Structure 1
Amino acid sequence: MDCKENESPESRETSRVVVEFLEVAITSIIFLKGIYPPGAFERRRYMNLLVHRARHPQLNRYILNSVNALEPYIQQGLVERIAVIFFKDDKIPVERFMFKINVNQSCYDGEMMDMEMRLFLVKLSLSEPFSKNAAVLSQSKKSDWRWEITGYFCSLPEAEVGAWISSNTYQWKQPPVITPIKSMNIQPLSLQLYLEHPPPEL
């Protein structure tokens, strides 16, 4: 990945649209996992689709602040992946939803981006991997579950390293099992979403 700065109006527009899309996609994942009661979300329209938005101010603020904090780094091409990590009180991840992202700032096709993002969100709302671990969720109290948004950078300006908090979730000892959910590769955005979970114990 070529990590370079680009301050053109097109790059700012692309990164703004990507961040807005990530806010909706991450909220959709949180809603579909069923950790919060349905009343914690309200239905809104986005790109002419019905989507969910967190109704609780702190929940909505956490999602919004997390993705907005990543915007300048997405614009500069410094963000490689964004993860939504689900874990229990022991801090061992049960699942990681990984957005692998690459923004090409050289051209911007807003109409094509909108169409592909709509298809992405439709696929996201119908994805089987969300229900595959329903049994795992039901085996423990919902109050035992936690989640966080984590950004993975290809590099970070040294002056800003102290502004970021390291994730304190544990890593798996074995390579994870990966389930692809959806991908798109258009100008100016390449985006893959896949689910990671620990391999079954032998």
Structure 2
Amino acid sequence: MFFKKSNVSINGFSVVADILCEFLEVAIHLILYVREVYPSGIFQKRKKYNVPVQMSCHPELNQYIQDTLHCVKPLIEKNDAEKVVVVIMDKEHHPVERFVFEISQPPLLSISSDILLSHVEQLLRAFILKISVCDAILNNNPPGCSFTVLVHTRDVATRNMEKVQVIKDFPWIVADEQEVNMQEPKLIPLKTMTSDIVKMQLYVEERAQKTQVY
């Protein structure tokens, strides 16, 4: 069901969750920029993973992304988040694109070296580079798009979602069916990574006809 660095490691899952949430924040900003969900003027060029990225400087948008990922982090720590999905919707709130991050971690996790974390960051850099050029393989979106972030949880987590309310007044809610389902999606793989601490796959589901009359 969908719902809306150093040598460490007393809690390896927490370290991985921090790394992934930081990555997802950068990735979401870049997706919104590359897919022109918001005007380019609200973005500033930064550097992350030693590559140029675009980050929003709009306070409300940034706070929404940060709050969302702050709530996602406990699910990643417990390996309860199967997918984090950035959904781009048209004016009628029907999905035109879904950037799907599938995430899984090994049942036993041991992080004992900065070298391993550095290796993971290098792999994450490759994801950022793929997102940066994804507009070359995707069709243009219609004007006036918006976005939302969905989390697909494992069944055991679904029953406990009310207990995972990290931020007051920022509750998890069950996603609308029209935000989850897409008409005739085309699947476009972007990148896969496998390491000792995390496995992640990124692909895009793109609606065949982006301009439709409902």
TM-score range, shorter chain: 0.7 to 0.9
Q: Which residue of 2 aligns with 1:33?
A: 35
Using the size of structure 1 for normalisation, the TM-score is 0.83
Letter in 1 for 2:188: T
Deviation at 1:200, TM superposition (A): 5.5
Unpaired runs of 5+ residues, structure 2, are: 1-8, 166-170
Q: Matched residues, percent identical?
A: 26
* Structure 1 pair 198–50 and aligned structure 2 pair: CA distance change class (3 A): closer
Partner of 1:168: 176
Kindly tell me: are residues 90 and 26 of structure 1, through their superposed partners in 2, closer, same or farther at Cα, counting changes over 3 Å?
Answer: same
Distance 1:39 1:159, change over 3 A: closer
Unaligned regions of 5+ residues in structure 1, if any? 1-6
Distance in structure 2 (CA, Å) of the matches to 1:174 and 1:93: 8
Deviation at 1:173, TM superposition (A): 6.8
**Is 2:193 aligned against 1:184?**
yes
Is the partner of 2:203 in helix, strand or coil? strand
How many residue pairs align between the two structures? 188
Cα distance in 1 between the residues matched to 2:132 and 2:182: 31
Over the residues paired in the alignment, what is the CA RMSD in angstroms? 2.3
Q: Say if 1:93 and 1:169, in contact at 8 Å, map to a contact too.
A: no
Alpha carbons 2:37, 2:147 under 8 Å: kept = no
1:64, distance to aligned residue in structure 2 (A): 1.2
Shift of 1:22: 0.6
Distance (whole Å) between structure 1 residues aligned to residue 78 and residue 23 of structure 2: 18
> For residues 169 and 86 of structure 1, what CA distance do their matches in structure 2 show?
14
Q: Secondary structure at the match of 2:89?
A: strand
CA–CA separation in structure 1 for the residues paired with 2:127 and 2:207: 25
| C-alpha separation in 1, matches of 2:34 and 2:208 | 22
Q: How does 1:35-50 map to 2 (within 5 A)?
A: 35-50=37-52
